[in-house]
Amino acid sequence: MEITDQARDLLDQLLEDEEASCLRLFFAGFGCGEPDIGMTLAEPEADDELHHINSIPVAIDQKIIHLTEKLTIEGKQTMEGPKFQMLGLPEKDC
């Protein structure tokens, strides 16, 4: 998994502003027959794997850890606030 430098800077500020401990990636149900990955600022849960990726603490739900191997999180600042995109997820047939 990779977090780009721009995403790192935005996440670092969000973690500080929200007084959150980490970025958490979790199983968010199924879409088109494939698992979906959710992303939030939250405390790690008991079955999460903890990582530090580009200086960001990341908790990853063990159910979706295999989907994050080639994942890249990109971020940019917009008029509405920071926006993040997950790249490298498996293609869905829908």
92 within domain boundaries: no
- In this predicted structure, the answer to whether residue 4 has a pLDDT above a threshold of 90 is yes
What is the mean predicted confidence (pLDDT) over 3-30?
95
Specify the pLDDT at position 8.
97
What is the mean predicted confidence (pLDDT) over 58-79?
94
The number of domains in the chain is 1
What is the mean predicted confidence (pLDDT) over 14-37?
89
43 within domain boundaries: yes
Q: How far apart are the first and last CA of the chain?
A: 25
Residue 60, token pair as written in the block = 């990853």
Mean confidence (pLDDT) of the chain: 92
| Whether pTM exceeds 0.85 | yes
Angle in degrees, CA 80, 69, 13, rounded to 5: 30
44 within domain boundaries: yes
Tell me the CATH number at 50. 2.60.300.12
Q: Domain span at residue 77? A: 2-87
Specify the pLDDT at position 49.
96
37 within domain boundaries: yes
Specify the pLDDT at position 32.
75
93 within domain boundaries: no
